[in-house]
Amino acid sequence: MALKVSVYIATSLDGFIARKNGDIDWLTGGESGGDYGYADFMSTIDYVVMGRNTYEKVLTFGGWGYDKKVIVLSSKKIKIKDKLKDKVEVLNLGPKKLVKEIEKRKAKHIYLDGGVTIQRFLREGLVDEMTITTIPVLIGEGLPLFGELAKDIKLKLLQSQSFKNSFVQNKYKVL
Amino acid sequence: MALKVSVYIATSLDGFIARKNGDIDWLTGGESGGDYGYADFMSTIDYVVMGRNTYEKVLTFGGWGYDKKVIVLSSKKIKIKDKLKDKVEVLNLGPKKLVKEIEKRKAKHIYLDGGVTIQRFLREGLVDEMTITTIPVLIGEGLPLFGELAKDIKLKLLQSQSFKNSFVQNKYKVL
C-alpha cells in the first residue's frame, strides 16, 4: 500500500497559519479543553515532516511536542540539539524523493507541517488528506497556508465538525 | 434598531472569490441543485451594496440576478442602462456615510457583495454577520475575500452546515 500523506493544521478565517513573525498567539481555543482529534490523528502517524522554518519555530515553544519521529527537510546543515538527536532527522530531499525514502522504510502515514512544506507537496500532487481547523479570527496578514499552483486542485469533504468555541474542522480528501 | 450589515459569499478553500480576471468558473456545485439558503437570506434584504468592479462583472453574467435594489458605491460616474434605472443607484459614499444614508431610508438589512467593498466595511467595523460558503477547490491565485486589517477581528460561529457536494457553509457574527 502506498504511503498516505496528511496535513493537520489550524488557520485563521483569512487563511493564515501564523503571523509574519511566526506568532500563533491568536490560535487559542478559549476554555474548550478538547484536542480536536489531534491525539487520534497522531496515533496513526509514523513520521512528522516539516521544513526548517517550522522546526526552528517549534523549538521556540519550549518543550518538544512530538512523540513521533520528525524529519526536517532542509538543504542547509542544521545542528540538532543532543537531546533531540534520536527524535529529529534532517534530510535534504524534495517531496518526491522524500516520499520514496519513507516508503522504503515501510512507513504508512506521514504528517506534513508548515506552510512552505505543505505548499510544495500540494504542488507536486503528493497530499492525500487535509484536516483544516478554522479559527474564528481575521488577522489581516501572516504566513498563508496555501500558495500558488500550476492548476486547480479539487477536494472532497470527508468530515465537517464545529465546536462550541466557534472552531470549525473540515477533513478533505485531495482528488 | 440599527441597520444590520451582512456578507453572503462563496470562496475557494484558499480564500478567493474569483480568479484574477473575475472568473468564477470554479464555483460550481455539481448536481446539488440547492441554493444554500440564498433565497431565504435575500428575502430579508433591503439593499444589495457593491463596488463598481463587482457591478461591472455582474453585468457580464447576462440577465440581472437581483430582485432587491442595488446600490453601487463609486467615486466615478457610471452610466446605468435604461432597463436597470429603477433597480440600480450609484452613490459616491464611504462605508460610514452609506450606513447613515441607508438608516435614513428606514432600511433594516443590507447585503454587501464584492471583495473590496467587504474589506472596506470590515476595516471600519461595520459588518455584523458573514455567511461564507467554502467551495472544495484550490485555485492558487485570484481576488481574495479578505485583506489587510489594522487589528484582529474576532468572530463567533452562529451556524455550520456541510453539503453532499462538499460545500461547507459557516455563518459568523463579527464581534
Listed in order, strand segments (DSSP E) in chain B are 4-12, 16-18, 47-51, 69-73, 88-91, 109-113, 129-135, 137-138, 143-144, 153-162, 168-174
Q: Which amino acid is at A109?
A: H
CB-nearest to A136 from B145, B150, B155 is: B155
Residue among A121, A152, A161, A171 with most chain B CBs within 10 A, to mutate:
A152
What does the pLDDT look like over B6-54, one tens digit per residue? 999 999 999 999 999 989 999 986 666 678 999 999 999 999 999 999 9
Residues of A in contact with B162 (CB under 8 A): 157, 160, 170
The verdict on ipTM greater than 0.90 is: yes
Mean per-residue pLDDT, B66-85:
93
Taking alpha carbons only, the member of B7, B22, B23, B28 closest to residue B52 is: B22
Q: Do A139 and B156 touch (CB under 8 A)?
A: no
- Quote the number of domains for chain A: 1
Computed over its alpha carbons, how large is the radius of gyration of chain B? 16
Paired sense of beta strands A143-144 and A168-174, if any? unpaired
The residues, any chain, with a CB within 8 Å of residue A139's CB and separated by 6 or more, are: A12, A14, A16, A19, A26, B149, B152
CB–CB contacts below 8 A, A to B: 97
Q: Do A153 and B170 touch (CB under 8 A)?
A: no
CB-nearest to B170 from A138, A149, A168 is: A168
Quick check: pTM over 0.90?
Answer: yes
Domain limits for position B16: 4-25+34-174
The residues, any chain, with a CB within 8 Å of residue A38's CB and separated by 6 or more, are: A8
CATH code for position A93 = 3.40.430.10
Q: How confident is the model at residue A61 (pLDDT cuts 50, 70, 90)?
A: confident
Q: How confident is the model at residue B62 (pLDDT cuts 50, 70, 90)?
A: confident
Exposure of B106 in the CB half-sphere (CA atoms within 13 A)? 0
Taking the CA of residue B134 and the nearest CA in chain A, the distance in Å comes to 10
* Residue A169 pLDDT > 90: yes
d(CA A152, CA A173): 14
